Structure 1
């Protein structure tokens, strides 16, 4: 069992990847973080006792920020806030995403600027460790004022309402708590606001996106190396001097990886042996895949900042320093997700062009047209390219940036929003589509390589060939290819 230490400041994507990879992993809270939580809570209690006017503690929300709330009603204010904001729609976020929402929200509270009680912190920790995972509808957030609707569904479960996923089933929250002997909590002053003013849904989906996109981009390289060999590609285009002369580290990295994947192959050629130059989808793999890897670097940096950010409102710094601001605004993550969408979509675009080269008799050298076992009688891989073309075209519509859109809310008090959660969801969809496209290239490239002679593959790609040939067979007859494409895509989501 692994333990993830949370202190509000030092959470990394590598730690999150390990946490998600172990169903028995738990979170613990550092002693210093508990001290910060207690100190910020004392300040909130003093504000209430003194009757000071502080947004969300002794006032209403949004346009109601000028409406004062009596001391006797502050708890009702927080519960009403959560119930009224649970208006998300659509299918729920995947369980790992909802789990990370709680982890990131807890991490934010541990910075000591949220003013929550230790009881709330402990409830979140308990839900995480017991894997009581909120059912959170994924649509309905504007991505500013926090991801209000999604986080409200998360918060609702802490008070024993709503639904949760528990041990593989979707259940009523109260039933799960009763079966475990856990009492729901009553939200205290500011705690409802502290739970929902934040970017955790878009950040949680963003982190899962990053982890999956990172793996997909690495897989796309060795799969491209299979295609390169099936087409007797030219290795000179990956010469280190070419890429160092331009200077992009990611481009240099991709060229190195391609040569590493191709080392020892008897199917590759040098310039002039068969042709002088390959088409761009082969020759420019370092430039295009490298540029997409650049987007991952940017995205990771922004996500790790946000995972450790104080992004609720107001923020508490001392007795005399309680400020209303806008750290809940999701614009940094919105732009990062839009950039990720473009980076992954471009990997899919160039992959589809390699698929076309594999099946097009005018481009694939001496391979059969569409890799058909009986040209004319059987279509072979013809429609596989159609499906890939459909997916990359769909990605082009999804890649439209969500962050350039905005619509005013709360009677124009909240007059600019990020749409970051929409961007994160669309990035997820693009990644899923791209994985199908890459899986299609793998499926076709394996047959093409086998026609050329799988014994001539480089040792590195032959190892992958043997592994994935157990999932998908040679195209020796027309059949329902979707089954194997889906199985390959599932295999590519797993660590291998």
Structure 2
């Protein structure tokens, strides 16, 4: 059974994806357990001495000046969870919930949270036995962390709320019983806050989205290369010298990818063969795709930092026996990159739709039949495929408006600036799905156009991609129920299989 050991190392985005999507098990190493226990001892000392410390012996938010007695500690933590579980809307996908759970575990093992080892192990047990709390998508301000979503996660640990088990939604107590898990009988000092005061909902969405986005940026290059061949594009604009003198790595890498993909193609031309230059959607692919790739690389770096961050409050520093109330729960370091990711992905979709328009428009397609059908008039061909793509990219323009520029004060203005980072993440994920749909439609159109050229001598990489699509999606000779073709192509590019096949031939796509 594949496992992720949480010890002293930093977890990678791939580690989180393996737990979230492929049900890798999670195990704590001895040093992680030691860190948890050491920090917990400090919290127990504070409680025993009656030391005033935020969230340990006081209330929360605006109630931070209310001192809580030792006898009320357990009630304080339980009440925190049940009162904060205020999420609304549809549940997060189970893969996002699993990512949230492992991210929270990883944060708690750093030794700055003061939670009991027993409580961390209970969260791991739920994860490993695939009991997934029902966590509504909406309700987080992204500071103080993702309070509402993470509270729903903790409800299931206590045998409250709802959970999914083996694909069925049910009361948590039933899910725990079926999985052979005893609910956690209580939370004690600091634990409720340690579990919910963090950025793990927005980060979970961000981890899965950046992983998919980086793969989609490679698919976008493949789609663009196929369209370039279908439109007898000019390869001179891909000359490495052009991109070296500007210097942006994403641009340089994209030009290299495209040249590798079309290497050996008989459908590609040079400037002056048929025309002097191509339109921007072809000629500027390195600049457009490359800018999005540079953005995605920056975003990946920021998300990798947050994956391994301690984001609750207060923080425990065992070496000096201090508890410091600060602001690591604030989602701004994620909110801005997640908004940026939405914009970067929207642009990949924008230029893809413009290439699709050139494929279907007889005034722009360099000799292809209108709407990629031999029987125009009786048949509409790919006419409405482009409509659908245009609709989706227009929706992306609305979704790409940044969430992070908004803030609504909360907790009687004690929390007077919030990040809206979880909204930014959810929007970026929706934009990613929309962009994947548009690129799937472009690939369908490009393969159709290549077949209509009849003499389709493709490049080394594009031939692999074309054959991969044609294994499941055939040439459209006459009008068909088109959405099934679109959905199938979307499915085919939703994992790494096509990328892997292409990379076996042309080397790693950048």
Q: Per the shorter chain, which TM-score range? A: over 0.9
SS in structure 2 opposite 1:487? helix
In 2, distance between residues paired with 1:454 and 1:167?
50
Quick check: 1:454–1:462 contact (8 Å CA) kept in 2? no
Query: 1:46-445 counterparts in 2 under 5 A?
Result: 46-185=45-184, 186-318=186-318, 320-445=321-446
Unpaired runs of at least 5, structure 1: none
Shift of 1:71: 0.6
Quick check: 2:260–2:460 contact (8 Å CA) kept in 1? no
Report how many aligned residue pairs link the two structures: 495
In 1, distance between residues paired with 2:357 and 2:22?
40
Per-residue Cα deviation, 1:317-361 (whole angstroms, up to 9, x for no partner): 035421000000000100010010010000000001001100111
Shift of 1:8: 6.5
Quick check: 2:59–2:67 contact (8 Å CA) kept in 1? yes
Quick check: 1:8–1:107 contact (8 Å CA) kept in 2? no
Q: Which residue of 2 aligns with 1:448?
A: 449
Per-residue Cα deviation, 1:286-335 (whole angstroms, up to 9, x for no partner): 00000000111111111111111110000000354210000000001000
SS in structure 2 opposite 1:170? strand
Per-residue Cα deviation, 1:6-44 (whole angstroms, up to 9, x for no partner): 136501112223334533x21111211111100110111
SS in structure 1 opposite 2:404? helix
In 2, distance between residues paired with 1:234 and 1:256?
15
In 1, distance between residues paired with 2:189 and 2:19?
32
SS in structure 1 opposite 2:22? coil
Quick check: 2:73–2:188 contact (8 Å CA) kept in 1? yes
Unpaired runs of at least 5, structure 2: 498-510
Q: Which residue of 1 aligns with 2:467?
A: 466
Query: 1:20-39 counterparts in 2 under 5 A?
Result: 20-23=20-23, 25-39=24-38
In 2, distance between residues paired with 1:17 and 1:417?
28
In 2, distance between residues paired with 1:474 and 1:131?
42
SS in structure 2 opposite 1:54? coil
Per-residue Cα deviation, 1:234-253 (whole angstroms, up to 9, x for no partner): 11111110011111111111
In 1, distance between residues paired with 2:202 and 2:21?
20
> TM-score by structure 2 length?
0.95
SS in structure 2 opposite 1:171? strand
In 2, distance between residues paired with 1:431 and 1:412?
35
Per-residue Cα deviation, 1:460-496 (whole angstroms, up to 9, x for no partner): 2122212211332222112221111011111211221
After TM superposition, where is structure 1 displaced by more than 6 Å over at least 4 residues in a row?
A: none
Instruction: Point out the more displaced range, 25-34 or 395-404.
Output: 25-34
What is the CA RMSD across the aligned residues, in angstroms? 1.2
Q: Does 2:46 correspond to 1:43?
A: no
> TM-score by structure 1 length?
0.98
Shift of 1:210: 0.5
